[in-house]
Structure 1
Amino acid sequence: MSRPRIAFVESNTSGTGRLFLAAARELGFQPIMLTSAPERYPFLSAEDCDVVTLDTGDTAALVEVSRELSRKGLAGVTSSSEYFVVAAARVAWQLGLPGPDPVALASCRDKHLQRQRLRAAGVAIPDFRAAETPEDAVRAAEAFGFPVIVKPVSGSGSVGVAACSSPEGVHAHAAALLGQAVNERGQPVPRMVLVETIAQGPEYSVETFDRTVVGVTAKHLGSPPYFIEVGHDHPAPLHTVERDALARITRAALDALGLGFGPAHTEIRYTESGPAIIEVNPRLAGGFIPELVRLATGVDLVRNTVARIARQPAPCEPLHRRHASLRFLLPPAEGSLARIDGLEAAGRLRGVAEARMYGAVGSQLACRHDFRDRIGHVIATGATPEDAMATADRAREQVRLTVTPARGA
């Protein structure tokens, strides 16, 4: 007898997508990938995963295919990609399967509407204005005072997010964003950007499941004016008062946005006046944060996400209390990756759980100043935050990347 199925609408390309398929199998389900471009996911060839090729931008087509699958036993529909969580939720709703509210998810994915709802609910956020032209963006920035953040109203992984310190910089960056018709996944994007004041202070993310705060992650950011995340520490080394304040504002944000089914990843700056929400992401964290949570606490958020939509238990109580840190490997320059040295040595360091490159020698590297710049990572664990962080830093320093510059560079 064939196993019941879990359908995944597209996948995360840089982090946990592969883990979702493994979790489905471990729970006794056959994973099925619904995708318009199977070649986007090299890991599919090594996984026991059925593939259905279709236009995943067409909700009606997704519903039709999923309805046919349901006749043969479909337990749930979800996505590990932020760009497709709304589509997956709509399909689940149409088929009467468990899932988050698709209307709430769609509202949350629209960062302008998200901010309007948070502000209306009295949740602390940076000041903001929407702009539909570069000139509107400049006027908003001048009203706030420089520097400001200019960012897309939809997106993920810090794509298109930049701090701008002059009218000329705001105009140029806004014009570039407004000139884009589609995002990196080929989806149409609104002709609108957000201009925001900068919340000063350390950045954290709160990982929640349903309404349970599973933990707080400390973020390491790259060099300004961009906001690429270059490392994470879980759990963040915080005092109880700080953790409680982050948990309270996160729950208030979830309530304001109508969220509370399955995972959410809420990014927060801890300012002098207290925590302020940067954005709420209605999906599991990327950047291998779920792996850090699993290593530090034993709570498997990937497995829980699949279990939740399949009506199975999703326990969030920690099984142990350790610490885990991740450091990403970034290209030293644009060009062709010529050599990778020290990766095996990094992996042999005491306390290192993983040292991995995403690409091979010969890969072409570009600096886009977002998550796509990350070409590998090291993960370390320890009994204390200091142990995990120090080991992760040592492992990252062990890896040396040699890049042959592109011609003309």
Structure 2
Amino acid sequence: MSANEKTVLLLTTPQSYRADAFVSAARQLGIALVVGVDLPESLAAQWGVQLHLDFSQPETAVTHIIEFAKKRPLAAIIPVDDAGAVLAARASRELGLPHNNVAAAEAARDKHQMRQMLAAAGVNSPKFKRFSLDDPLSEMNAQVLAEIGFPCVVKPLYLNGSRGVMRANDATELAAVVSRLRGMLPSGADFLVESYLPGVEVALEGVLENGRLHPLAIFDKPDPLEGPFFEETIYMTPSCLPDEVQQQIVETAAAGAAALGLQLGSVHAELRVNEAGAWIVEVNGRSIGGLCSQTLRFDMGLSLEELILRQATGLPVSHLQREQQASGVMMIPIPHGGILRGVRGVAAAQAIPGVDEVTITAPLNNRLVPLPEGESYLGFIFATGNAPAEVENALRQAHAQLNFQIDEEIRLAVIGNQ
């Protein structure tokens, strides 16, 4: 490592798709990247992990990062996933590195805290109330009727990727989704019930510099996300919404980030847009998940990961603009649970005009779990074109070429001696 080469610590999880993209970006920029993974020590050697950390024990993890930094000084710490955002803020604070306030990172991770801070700041967001899985259903239903109304959305406080997020249209459905949530969360865990926000859903990708939001892209989500579950499929950019609506989206996302106290680094916000304006679904202090960052390229062909690393090491990024070509991704949904035995049609899908790549990420002979319990996709389809409609058509045509063989699981019942 040269004397001028900067070292950045990347915090990630074994489930993340993003580490390789950051490693490649760091190589392009001449930045030394150390990957810290939420992994037990016993598995670290098998994975070839440079720095193993337990994200669930932040004080111990911060100590390990400080000890590492004594031997190899760090220029920045970047969280890839929500799970590492609070740890990154805590460790950066101890090391005197640029960072988000720890309370802001915690608020972006805790959906109830986020809702409280958005409401206190007057940012457009749904009505909400916190409940426990131990609360009597009759009391819960009465409070939802009085304070939230139907339809409503049940949402875990900490799960990501739409896991556990379910719509209930009446008291009977509320009881059913709460029962389903009991199978996903620890006994007595808390969760939110929010008012359902009608309208189209969009995502905003941006970066914060000294608290100022610089939007990088607005993604349209052409498939309706109306429940009963909220599985995301297609992201497309640039947005087809009118300019004034896009400005509302940027302003609302900026207000949401400010309400949480986020000041620096990546922001990924989810919003709903209707006749009453733009409404915050979530604001996250991290970049877009999965492989979706591949849809974004900036001046000089920079990837999103290169842009993030540039900012983290003190280089300006607010002047960088997204390439104007329309692009999109389909996160291939899991149609039903079972064991993935085979995939056909990948070559035919990749041959569709406009399709750039088809990546199947689900391993064969492994169990598939769809939403709301699951947290993964079968893979990703990427496309580019002259217009968003062209991209959407290419993605849908490619998806139609794919055939997944998913066998039902065989459950063996053990019957004792009678």
Q: Unaligned stretches of 5+ in structure 1?
A: 183-188
For the 8 Å contact 1:335–1:403, the answer to whether it is kept is yes
Name which of 197, 205, 208 aligns with 1:207.
205
Residue 315 of structure 1, CA deviation: 4.9
State percent identity of aligned pairs. Answer: 26
* Equivalent position of 1:25 in the other structure: 27
Name which of 9, 12, 27 aligns with 2:11.
9
TM-score, length-scaled by structure 2: 0.86
* Equivalent position of 1:56 in the other structure: 55
CA distance in 1, matches of 2:40, 2:354: 36
> Which residue identity does 1:164 align to in structure 2?
A
* Equivalent position of 1:347 in the other structure: 350
* Equivalent position of 2:280 in the other structure: 277
* Equivalent position of 1:81 in the other structure: 81
Kindly indicate whether residue 258 of structure 2 is the aligned counterpart of residue 267 of structure 1: no
Q: What's the Cα RMSD here?
A: 2.9
Q: 1:180 to 1:18 in 2, by over 3 A?
A: same
TM-score, length-scaled by structure 1: 0.88
CA distance in 2, matches of 1:242, 1:39: 49
How many equivalent residue pairs? 399
Residue 380 of structure 1, CA deviation: 0.4
For each residue in 1:273-312, what CA deviation from the matched residue of structure 2 results, as whole angstroms up to 9, or x when unmatched? Answer: 1111111111112143322122899553222222322223
* Equivalent position of 2:96 in the other structure: 96
Residue 365 of structure 1, CA deviation: 1.8
CA distance in 2, matches of 1:242, 1:329: 28
**For 1:184-223, what aligned pairs fall within 5 Å after superposition?**
191-210=189-208, 211-219=213-221, 220=223
Residue 54 of structure 1, CA deviation: 3.7
Residue 15 of structure 1, CA deviation: 3.6
Q: State the SS of the aligned residue for 1:367.
A: coil
Residue 163 of structure 1, CA deviation: 0.3
For each residue in 1:313-345, what CA deviation from the matched residue of structure 2 results, as whole angstroms up to 9, or x when unmatched? Answer: 435522530111211223333222222111022
> Which residue identity does 1:56 align to in structure 2?
F
CA distance in 1, matches of 2:181, 2:368: 22
**For 1:105-184, what aligned pairs fall within 5 Å after superposition?**
105-132=105-132, 133-135=135-137, 136-143=139-146, 144-177=148-181
Kindly indicate whether residue 392 of structure 2 is the aligned counterpart of residue 389 of structure 1: yes
For the 8 Å contact 2:299–2:322, the answer to whether it is kept is no
**For 1:363-402, what aligned pairs fall within 5 Å after superposition?**
363-369=366-372, 372-402=375-405
Q: State the SS of the aligned residue for 1:74.
A: coil
For each residue in 1:243-297, what CA deviation from the matched residue of structure 2 results, as whole angstroms up to 9, or x when unmatched? Answer: 1111111122122221231111111111121111111111112143322122899
Q: 1:11 to 1:310 in 2, by over 3 A?
A: farther
Q: Unaligned stretches of 5+ in structure 2?
A: 413-418
* Equivalent position of 1:185 in the other structure: none
CA distance in 2, matches of 1:376, 1:174: 29
> Which residue identity does 2:203 align to in structure 1?
S
> Which residue identity does 1:35 align to in structure 2?
V
Q: 1:234 to 1:241 in 2, by over 3 A?
A: same
Residue 356 of structure 1, CA deviation: 0.8
CA distance in 2, matches of 1:337, 1:299: 35
Residue 104 of structure 1, CA deviation: 0.9
* Further displaced range: 2-11 or 264-273: 2-11
